[in-house]
Amino acid sequence: MSIIPLEIILETDLESALKAEPWLKTADFKATPHSFCLIPNNDGSMQKVVVGGGKAIDLWTLASLPQKLPLGEYTLQGVYTPEQATTLALGWELERYQFNRYLSKPKNFPTLVMPATADALLVQNMRDAIFLARDLINTPANDMMPADLSRVATSIAATFDASIAVHTDIEHAFPLVWAVGKGSENKPCVIVLEWGDKKNPKLTLVGKGVCFDSGGLDIKPAGAMKLMKKDMGGAAIALGLAQLIMAMRLPVRLRVIIPAVENSVSGSAFRPLDIIKSRKGLTVEIGDTDAEGRLILADALDLAAEDTPDLIVDFATLTGAARVALGAEIPAVFSNTPALAEKIVGLSQTQQDPLWQLPLYDGYRAQLDSKIADLNNVSNSGYGGAITAALFLKEFVPESIRWVHIDCMAWNMSMQSGRPEGGEAMGLRTLFALLSQGEWQHG
């Protein structure tokens, strides 16, 4: 079978395209995003595919095609800059994702010949990192508990010659992580991966690894528990980004910290109004056992700060309040360095990987006060829940260390081109773009 050309037509070029190819007029082709038209040869075989590019080429221009075109091999026709070619190829690859671990007959997809001007290594490694995160999030909890997550991290470390430690004796070393996870027969652990030349700037990624969240003794209703296999989405994104950093050999001293737990219900589960001393020494009164993610992140952030990295980034499926504020598709970004948050938001627009900044408004800090402990893990107000959760985490990061907190859904609620329903590596492409600039540790 011959390789079939793909020709992208922008709306501004539609008139000339209709004159050059009468079949397009017959098919009432409009050149709108995600539109396409199969152009036949005289013998009925396929000559080429004309693709609508809308007003401008972007990441999603080709992204609907692998689900719709006949099986075969396709090639991009025309002249494109390296950036355009890389973007188009990545969009195509992201649409080819399928979570097939439990399928007896996985679907086959058409393939795209890598454009000559594209950065093939980046496309491949970016795709693999995003697919890793999606796979981890989509895996049901019966096959993705703390031990399973640690095995994945260990495999990644072995691939890139990184060091890894999986801490399981954590009752005293990570008391908040232990408190959240001790109610489950799937015992908690803290995963620490390290990679890179020690002379490079230090980057630490932290990922919330709640492998399933029942809500603990403050048990969630069934509807709210339905998607809780995704509550380790922050850990999945952190691992995906770490894999990409190592595969692309960015000049960083990388450290990844994942507190991994199941928040379960049992006689040994932690209780409302328990008071637990954190790894940092601050005592925390438990106002709600379903606000467990911030607890395990608190101990992880304290560990992250110990070697004074140039930047700490944490990813977490932390609050429903962030989803109320921004919807399911836009993660909230908080930072103790506003200029850095602004840079991240700007990059998210260019990467078509949207994020939006919310404030670390200190005026709400008093809402976390406790009368009998240093702080409560939940606010005494029904408002600003994403902000108060971020303020809780801020207590465990020294002001001198630049820190970014990303509160994300990690899940596509519906199918969009290149973004299938299910687990999603939200923020991964944006943060990689930031780190690739080489100036992230300064501004």
Note whether 196 and 303 are within 8 A (CB). no
* 3-class secondary-structure state, position 126: helix
Strands annotated E in 226-317: 253-263, 275-277, 283-285, 311-316
Is residue 294 among the annotated active site residues? Answer: yes
The one catalytic residue in 187, 220, 277, 365 is: 220
Instruction: Compute the distance between CA of residue 301 and CA of residue 64 in angstroms, rounded to an integer.
Output: 39
| Strand partners for 270 | none
| Strand partners for 6 | 49, 76
Is residue 134 among the annotated active site residues? Answer: no
Phi, psi of 320 (to 5 degrees): -70, -25
Q: Which residues contact 159 (CB under 8 A, 6 or more apart)?
A: 243
Instruction: Compute the distance between CA of residue 282 and CA of residue 10 in angstroms, rounded to an integer.
Output: 58
The one catalytic residue in 127, 208, 229, 294 is: 294
Q: Which residues contact 342 (CB under 8 A, 6 or more apart)?
A: 357
Cα 110 to its chain centre, rounded Å, is 26
Strands annotated E in 177-310: 189-195, 202-207, 209-213, 253-263, 275-277, 283-285
Active site residues: 220, 294
